[in-house]
Structure 1
């Protein structure tokens, strides 16, 4: 298992470098200028040239990237070109919000989706068709629209949950859970449906195999067949889907954080992009990449637990 972890970590290093280079280049090609954003509409040519020189924007792109990379390798992501605040500190202060939202949404999606998939595969009939309908509805429902509907019902009409904001776990466990309910519900609508459908299809395939008939002939209980044997055989593709959905949730997190006014990396990224704040954008993209790398590593570890052959692959 340690060999698997080391191999995946080493493979992630080129990915992080490639993402950082691509982000830097795309930000350079994007319309807008950091110096113009800071100075506003009324500025002189001298003040514009001076500010660009002070920010290092008059240097060649490859030199600026190498300077940033040298600092990043030392753990220094630089300072925001707009606010002058340390990028690393800003990201660290908001990381908990994004991680809480992503992990909670993935966990809820996995638990509810697997439960629905198992029940629909075992019971079949109307419940199986309901999962198909739920999948179609989930795919077609935008997360931000569902979030607005949930806010209007549960926060405005019934007033049982907060509409915006985030309460840290260290401040109040109840407040933390309450602040996550509506954002997580909006994020998990399509994910639950996808996992449920994948689980149902995998369970139906596993339950039709010969080893299940052999287990029943040998007197194995139905619960043992379903949860110990069939679900374990169906789990590999389900885990793959969960891993892909976790990566996809990173995009949804940006929208949901803005919709619910949550002070996470997504809302910070949107502000940094609109202001053409390259150091902040670079740092946030690297942070999101690291979150995805850790998520994929957890998926690989789950593979190793479910299938020992994957530990040496």
Structure 2
């Protein structure tokens, strides 16, 4: 297990390195006039040149990247070009909000996805039809449409939850849960159908295998066979889909946070990208990329635990 874990970890680090190179050069090639934006449109060439020299924008791109990468390896992600705030501080101050949204949505997706998938595979009927409908809607309906619909129904019409805003858990746990309810639900609704569909397909495949029929012929209770043997054998593909949904939900949180005015990484990412604030965008990319790598590593380790053959891949 240790060699397998090290191999997966090294591949994740390599992925982060490639991601940082591509992101940096794409940003810098697309933000040629950033010094003019910082200085102001009325600033003269001398003021612009002064800012370029202070930020190191007058050096070759390769040299700029090496300077950023060297500092980043020591934990220094620099400062925002527009606000002067430390990138680490700007990202970490909002990371908890985005992570709480994402983790809550993935947990909700996992619970209801597995439950509906298991019901669809074993009972068929209406659970099966519901899974099909949710799967189609999750792929066809954009996340912001679901978010707006939830606001109109549960916030405006029924007044059960706040339409916008965020309450810190240190202020009120109940308020925090209420402020997360609609964003988490909006993110989960788009993903639960895909997970349920995968669980359903995997369980149907396992239910047709000879060893399952043998267990049932020996008189073992149906629920024991389904939840102890079938579901465990079908958990591998479901974990893979759930790991993929984590990445999708993390990306979708950018839009949903805008709709619900949640102070997560989404608004900062959109603003810094439109401004060409390279240090801040790079900090967001590296931190979120590291989270994705960590989640994929956990999924791979769980896959190896459930299926020892995976360790040989």
TM-score normalised by the chain length of structure 1: 0.96
CA distance in 1 between partners of 2:33 and 2:299 (Å): 40
1:242-253 correspondence runs (5 A): 242-253=242-253
CA distance in 2 between partners of 1:7 and 1:65 (Å): 27
Residue aligning to 1:65 = 65
1:1-313 correspondence runs (5 A): 1-31=1-31, 33-311=33-311, 313=313
Q: Deviation at 1:169?
A: 3.0
SS in 1 for 2:164: coil
Unaligned runs of 5+ in 2: none
Query: Residue 106 of structure 1 contacts residue 188 of structure 1 at CA under 8 Å; is this kept in 2?
Result: yes
CA distance in 2 between partners of 1:33 and 1:100 (Å): 36
CA distance in 2 between partners of 1:127 and 1:95 (Å): 36
CA distance in 2 between partners of 1:312 and 1:175 (Å): 48
SS in 2 for 1:59: coil
Q: Deviation at 1:118?
A: 0.5
SS in 2 for 1:103: helix
Count of residue pairs the alignment pairs up: 313
Q: Deviation at 1:170?
A: 3.4
CA distance in 2 between partners of 1:262 and 1:33 (Å): 30
CA distance in 2 between partners of 1:36 and 1:186 (Å): 39
Q: Deviation at 1:301?
A: 1.9
Q: 1:219-250 CA distances to partner (integer Å, 9 max, x unpaired)? A: 11111110011111111111111111111122
CA distance in 2 between partners of 1:101 and 1:251 (Å): 11
CA distance in 1 between partners of 2:102 and 2:33 (Å): 32
Query: Residue 163 of structure 1 contacts residue 260 of structure 1 at CA under 8 Å; is this kept in 2?
Result: yes
1:80 to 1:66, Cα distance in 2 relative to 1, 3 A = same
Q: Which one is further off, 80-89 or 27-36?
A: 27-36
Q: Deviation at 1:28?
A: 1.5
Query: Residue 132 of structure 1 contacts residue 197 of structure 1 at CA under 8 Å; is this kept in 2?
Result: yes
Q: Deviation at 1:168?
A: 2.8
Q: Deviation at 1:312?
A: 5.3
Q: Cα RMSD between the aligned structures?
A: 1.5
Unaligned runs of 5+ in 1: none
CA distance in 2 between partners of 1:166 and 1:24 (Å): 32
SS in 2 for 1:83: coil
Q: Deviation at 1:311?
A: 4.1
